[in-house]
Amino acid sequence: MSQYDVIIIGAGPGGYVSAIRCAQLGLKTAVVEGRETLGGTCLNVGCIPSKALLHASHQLHEAEHNFATMGLKVAAPKVDWKTMLGYKQDVIDGNTKGIEFLFKKNKIDWIKGWASIPAAGKVQVGDTTYDAKNIVIASGSEPSALPGVEVDEKTVVTSTGALALGSIPKSMIVIGAGVIGLELGSVYKRLGTEVTVVEFLDVITPGMDGEVQKTFQRMLKKQGLSFVMGAAVQKVEKGKGGNSVTYKLRKNDKEETISAEVVLVATGRRPFTEGLGLDKLGIDLTKRGQIATNGHYATNIPGIYAIGDAIEGPMLAHKAEDEGMAVAEILAGQKGHVNYDVIPGVIYTHPEVASVGKTEEQLKEEGRAYKVGKFSFMGNGRAKAVFAGDGFVKIIADAATDRVLGCHIIGPAAGDLIHEICVGMEFGAAAEDIARTCHAHPTFSEAVREAALACGDGPIHS
Ligand code: FAD
Ligand code: NAI
């Protein structure tokens, strides 16, 4: 029997970051993880492996399309899929072992196995019961099931299967034009697969700025991805020639069927809370099955907290990490806090897409007066030098005060550029503050400054 200040269930970005912060703040901390390795969905079957494959396939694209223009003559590149998967696994291993090292360094106990909570203050793993003053549930999420679709993770796959296919398929149908569908669809398109994306709505990446959605879809089509929009998938059936997907077009109720070697189901994720014993404990859930928490990550049962994908809010690794730090600070008697108005979202396609804060659509709905400053990467010398002139930066500022309310970028290094705006928003910056900040030349970040200038007297290079 061991007594801990905190036991965290789950070693994903929420759980492992929380554990490190708890230990740094002097709390005796243990983490229970059922997987063989630390790091959760993100490091094992999510963010990290998908970025490794995005990187490798982008290098292939560069070699095929841009090397010759720059005077680099190489033989036609060939894909060795087994080696590419090996590289992806090495990247995963390096990262998960890194977390093990950090646990040892911070004297965090890793309890291996699946946890349940028999009562407040008690965590059971196998036959052992551990005592904890506080318990943090960071059990993450799993792919949502789609009625009429049976996943075998071989030819009808979720993202997990798509990251480890036996071979590169000739054709793939992606169900859902959200983040997973477009990132992994891009990977396979670049590797030579015919990719068709079937989406329920009339737009891709729901919730994103409308102008970005249109530009993004245009760029993806140019890259060779096909789209069937406004189509509700009814069923997936296995046949001799592959898998057939039947969908109903929402505009006329017409049913159509298309086939492909592999079907990727990417229609969202749901909280994973199986086996924890939440029912017996009487922990409140939201209507969508998330663990209900107050503003301080406390559930309705004293001493039990929850963070990350298992609670409401965007299912993002950095959101889970920030909540992990905040709950640790709260448990240590400090004032942990997450600013949900400034959580960036990034899609790691090529080009990248990044956003933070309000979209024009949201502001219109709220009836708020705003102004828009936009700048095309065509006017950015660095972007033109690296074949990345397609795309733009759009800053939205309050019409009266000039305060930055949101930013939407599609273009080179968008996922890094967005953080200038995040920091600015945290400090309550006006667009003019960004416009008056000297930006190094030649950098992509000059496009952000130009968009800020466009909120005032106008950009220089357009
Ligand atoms: P998780 O990472 O899901 O970790 C939860 C852990 O808890 C798991 O390891 C699980 O085994 C363990 N666990 C659950 N129940 C128990 C139990 N009872 N006992 C013991 N252990 C338990 N987000 C981004 O921000 N950027 C990205 O680029 C990105 N890419 C993604 C790509 C893909 C393909 C996917 C699927 C997701 C991606 N995400 C990305 C989302 C991101 O992975 C999640 O938001 C993040 O992992 C959530 O962290 P978490 O700690 O809440 O949960
Ligand atoms: P998602 O919610 O982003 O997209 C799902 C899409 O599927 C939506 O466009 C939806 O309209 C569509 N859809 C739903 N039912 C359908 C049906 N029956 N037929 C056709 N289309 C249908 O979910 P996704 O892509 O599965 O990602 C899950 C989570 O993982 C997201 O919340 C995301 O935040 C996270 N993630 C984040 C990444 C990043 O930050 N770069 C990368 C990958 C995942």
Looking at ligand 1, which atom is closest to the CA of residue 14?
A: 51
Q: Are residues 171 and 134 in the same domain?
A: no
Beta carbon of 430 within 6 Å of any ligand 2 atom: no
Give the domain CATH number at 415.
3.30.390.30
Residues 193-210 pLDDT 10s? 999 999 999 999 999 999
Residue numbers of the domain that contains 251: 156-267
Q: Of the candidates 341, 319, 304, 364, which has an alpha carbon nearest to the alpha carbon of residue 427?
A: 341
What single-letter DSSP state applies at residue 205? Answer: S
Beta carbon of 178 within 6 Å of any ligand 2 atom: yes
Residues 196-245 pLDDT 10s? 999 999 999 999 999 999 999 999 999 999 999 999 999 999 987 799 99
Ligand 1 centre and the CA of 398: distance in Å? 36
Q: Are residues 350 and 328 in the same domain?
A: no
Ligand 1 centre and the CA of 12: distance in Å? 5
Residue 461 placed within a domain: no
What are the percentages of helix, strand and coil residues in the chain, rounded to 5? 35, 25, 40
Beta carbon of 230 within 6 Å of any ligand 2 atom: no
| 416 residue type, one letter | D
Closest ligand to 352 CA?
2
Cβ proximity of 80 and 49 under 8 Å: no
Beta carbon of 308 within 6 Å of any ligand 2 atom: no
Indicate the top mutation candidate among 200, 255, 410 to test ligand 2's pocket, ranked by most ligand atoms within 8 A of CB. Answer: 200
Ligand 2 centre and the CA of 267: distance in Å? 5
| Sign of the alpha-carbon torsion through 359, 365, 368, 370 | positive
Q: Are residues 138 and 200 in the same domain?
A: no
Cβ proximity of 353 and 410 under 8 Å: yes
Q: Of 308, 338, 368, which residue is a domain's last?
A: 338
Cα–Cα distance list, 290 to 250, 315, 361, 364 (Å)? 29, 11, 27, 29
Counting residues of the chain whose pLDDT is more than 90, the rounded percentage is: 99
Does the structure show a pLDDT above 90 at 155?
yes
pLDDT band at residue 451 using 50, 70 and 90 as cut-offs: very high
Active-site residue numbers?
441
Cβ proximity of 442 and 460 under 8 Å: no
Our count of domains for the chain comes to 3
Give the domain CATH number at 280.
3.50.50.60
pLDDT band at residue 129 using 50, 70 and 90 as cut-offs: very high
Q: Are residues 333 and 408 in the same domain?
A: no
Beta carbon of 84 within 6 Å of any ligand 2 atom: no
Average pLDDT over residues 304-330: 98
Cβ proximity of 420 and 430 under 8 Å: no
The encoded tokens of residue 375 equal 């700048």
Mean pLDDT for all residues in the chain? 97
Average pLDDT over residues 343-365: 98
Q: Are residues 305 and 363 in the same domain?
A: no
Closest ligand to 148 CA?
2
Looking at ligand 2, which atom is closest to the CA of residue 182?
A: 25
Residue 148 placed within a domain: no
Q: Are residues 334 and 348 in the same domain?
A: no
As a whole number of Å, the end-to-end CA separation of the chain is 69
Average pLDDT over residues 259-266: 98
Measure the CA–CA gap between 293 and 284, rounded to whole angstroms: 8
Measure the CA–CA gap between 425 and 319, rounded to whole angstroms: 17
Q: For ligand 1, which residues put their CB under 6 angstroms from it?
A: 9-15, 32-35, 40-42, 46-47, 50, 114-115, 138-141, 159, 180, 272, 275-276, 308-310, 315-318, 320, 348
Closest ligand to 227 CA?
2
Ligand 1 centre and the CA of 84: distance in Å? 23
Closest ligand to 13 CA?
1
Q: Are residues 430 and 382 in the same domain?
A: yes
Beta carbon of 206 within 6 Å of any ligand 2 atom: yes
Q: Are residues 179 and 230 in the same domain?
A: yes
Q: Are residues 85 and 135 in the same domain?
A: yes
Beta carbon of 319 within 6 Å of any ligand 2 atom: no
Q: Are residues 243 and 117 in the same domain?
A: no
Residue 216 placed within a domain: yes
235-273 burial code (b ≥16 CB/10 A, e <16): ebeeeeebbbbebeeeeeeeeeebbbbbbbbbbebbbbb
Beta carbon of 343 within 6 Å of any ligand 2 atom: no
Looking at ligand 1, which atom is closest to the CA of residue 35?
A: 11
Residue 165 placed within a domain: yes
Looking at ligand 1, which atom is closest to the CA of residue 39?
A: 9
Ligand 1 centre and the CA of 204: distance in Å? 23
Cis peptide upstream of residue 206 (ω within 30 degrees of 0):
no
Does the structure show a pLDDT above 70 at 1?
no
Residues 377-430 pLDDT 10s? 999 999 999 999 999 999 999 999 999 999 999 999 999 999 999 999 999 999
Distance of CA 396 to the CA centre of its chain: 23
Ligand 1 centre and the CA of 139: distance in Å? 8
Task: Please tell me the predicted confidence (pLDDT) of residue 246.
Answer: 97
Residue 232 placed within a domain: yes
Ligand 2 centre and the CA of 199: distance in Å? 10
